[in-house]
Protein backbone atom coordinates (compact mmCIF):
# COMPACT_ATOMS: atom_id res chain seq x y z
CA UNK A 1 0.00 0.00 0.00
CA UNK A 2 1.17 3.54 -0.76
CA UNK A 3 0.13 7.06 0.28
CA UNK A 4 0.50 9.83 -2.30
CA UNK A 5 1.21 13.15 -0.60
CA UNK A 6 -0.65 16.24 -1.82
CA UNK A 7 2.58 17.88 -2.92
CA UNK A 8 2.92 15.28 -5.70
CA UNK A 9 -0.39 16.52 -7.15
CA UNK A 10 0.59 20.18 -6.72
CA UNK A 11 4.01 19.79 -8.35
CA UNK A 12 2.53 17.80 -11.22
CA UNK A 13 0.21 20.72 -12.00
CA UNK A 14 2.77 23.52 -11.51
CA UNK A 15 4.78 24.14 -14.68
CA UNK A 16 7.22 26.32 -12.68
CA UNK A 17 8.10 23.54 -10.24
CA UNK A 18 11.43 21.84 -10.89
CA UNK A 19 9.79 18.59 -9.72
CA UNK A 20 6.96 18.83 -12.27
CA UNK A 21 8.31 16.34 -14.80
CA UNK A 22 8.97 13.66 -12.18
CA UNK A 23 5.65 14.15 -10.39
CA UNK A 24 3.65 14.36 -13.60
CA UNK A 25 5.27 11.16 -14.85
CA UNK A 26 4.26 9.40 -11.65
CA UNK A 27 0.65 10.51 -12.04
CA UNK A 28 0.63 9.53 -15.71
CA UNK A 29 1.94 6.13 -14.71
CA UNK A 30 -0.82 5.68 -12.12
CA UNK A 31 -3.83 7.01 -13.97
CA UNK A 32 -5.87 5.32 -16.63
CA UNK A 33 -8.00 8.22 -17.98
CA UNK A 34 -7.05 11.61 -19.42
CA UNK A 35 -9.49 13.85 -17.51
CA UNK A 36 -8.67 14.78 -13.91
CA UNK A 37 -12.10 13.97 -12.48
CA UNK A 38 -12.18 10.66 -14.30
CA UNK A 39 -8.83 9.93 -12.70
CA UNK A 40 -10.23 10.71 -9.24
CA UNK A 41 -13.31 8.57 -9.91
CA UNK A 42 -11.09 5.71 -11.03
CA UNK A 43 -9.08 6.01 -7.83
CA UNK A 44 -12.20 6.02 -5.66
CA UNK A 45 -13.43 2.72 -7.08
CA UNK A 46 -10.01 1.06 -7.15
CA UNK A 47 -10.01 -2.06 -4.95
CA UNK A 48 -6.64 -1.11 -3.46
CA UNK A 49 -7.76 2.38 -2.36
CA UNK A 50 -8.24 3.06 1.32
CA UNK A 51 -9.39 6.48 2.46
CA UNK A 52 -7.55 7.00 5.69
CA UNK A 53 -9.91 8.19 8.39
CA UNK A 54 -9.60 8.11 12.15
CA UNK A 55 -10.46 4.80 13.77
CA UNK A 56 -10.60 3.61 17.36
CA UNK A 57 -6.78 3.25 17.18
CA UNK A 58 -6.21 6.94 16.36
CA UNK A 59 -5.26 8.08 19.87
CA UNK A 60 -2.84 5.20 20.30
CA UNK A 61 -1.19 5.86 16.92
CA UNK A 62 -0.95 9.59 17.68
CA UNK A 63 0.68 8.92 21.04
CA UNK A 64 3.24 6.61 19.38
CA UNK A 65 4.09 9.13 16.63
CA UNK A 66 4.41 12.06 19.05
CA UNK A 67 6.59 9.95 21.36
CA UNK A 68 8.90 9.00 18.47
CA UNK A 69 9.05 12.47 16.91
CA UNK A 70 9.42 15.20 19.47
CA UNK A 71 9.40 18.88 18.62
CA UNK A 72 6.68 18.78 15.99
CA UNK A 73 5.11 22.21 15.43
CA UNK A 74 3.81 24.46 12.66
CA UNK A 75 3.59 22.87 9.21
CA UNK A 76 4.99 19.62 10.60
CA UNK A 77 1.70 19.04 12.41
CA UNK A 78 -0.05 18.55 9.06
CA UNK A 79 2.60 15.99 8.12
CA UNK A 80 2.20 14.38 11.55
CA UNK A 81 -1.53 13.93 10.92
CA UNK A 82 -0.75 12.10 7.69
CA UNK A 83 1.88 10.01 9.50
CA UNK A 84 -0.55 9.18 12.31
CA UNK A 85 -3.22 8.02 9.87
CA UNK A 86 -0.66 5.93 8.03
CA UNK A 87 0.54 4.30 11.24
CA UNK A 88 -3.04 3.74 12.35
CA UNK A 89 -3.82 1.87 9.12
CA UNK A 90 -0.52 -0.02 8.93
CA UNK A 91 0.80 1.87 5.90
CA UNK A 92 4.58 2.41 5.78
CA UNK A 93 5.23 3.66 2.23
CA UNK A 94 4.62 7.23 1.06
CA UNK A 95 5.26 8.90 -2.27
CA UNK A 96 6.22 12.48 -1.50
CA UNK A 97 8.65 15.24 -2.32
CA UNK A 98 8.38 16.61 1.23
CA UNK A 99 11.62 15.80 3.03
CA UNK A 100 9.94 16.39 6.41
CA UNK A 101 8.44 12.89 6.24
CA UNK A 102 11.91 11.51 6.93
CA UNK A 103 11.31 12.57 10.55
CA UNK A 104 8.95 9.64 11.00
CA UNK A 105 11.10 6.54 11.49
CA UNK A 106 8.44 3.99 10.53
CA UNK A 107 7.94 5.45 7.04
CA UNK A 108 9.57 4.37 3.81
CA UNK A 109 9.74 6.80 0.89
CA UNK A 110 8.51 5.20 -2.33
**pLDDT tens digit sequence for 41-97:** 777 888 877 778 899 999 999 999 999 998 898 889 889 999 999 999 999 999 898
One domain for residues 62 and 105:
yes
Is 51 inside any structural domain? no
Domain with 11, as residue range(s), is 2-45
Picking from 104, 101, 99, the residue whose alpha carbon sits closest to that of residue 67 is 104
pLDDT(1) > 80: no
Shared-domain flag, residues 67 and 105: yes
Contact 33, 42 (CB under 8 A): yes
pTM over cut 0.85: no
Domain co-membership, 83 together with 40: no
Number of neighbouring beta carbons within 10 Å of residue 31: 15
Residue 87 C-alpha from the chain's centroid:
12
| Whether residue 8 is found in the same domain as residue 33 | yes
**Total count of domains within the chain:** 2
Has residue 31 been placed in a domain?
yes
Is there a domain that residue 17 lies in?
yes
CA atoms within 13 A on the CB side of 80: 19
Amino acid sequence: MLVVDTNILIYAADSRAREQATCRALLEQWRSRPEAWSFIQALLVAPGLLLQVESDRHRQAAAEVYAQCTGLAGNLLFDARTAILMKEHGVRRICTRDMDFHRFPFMENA
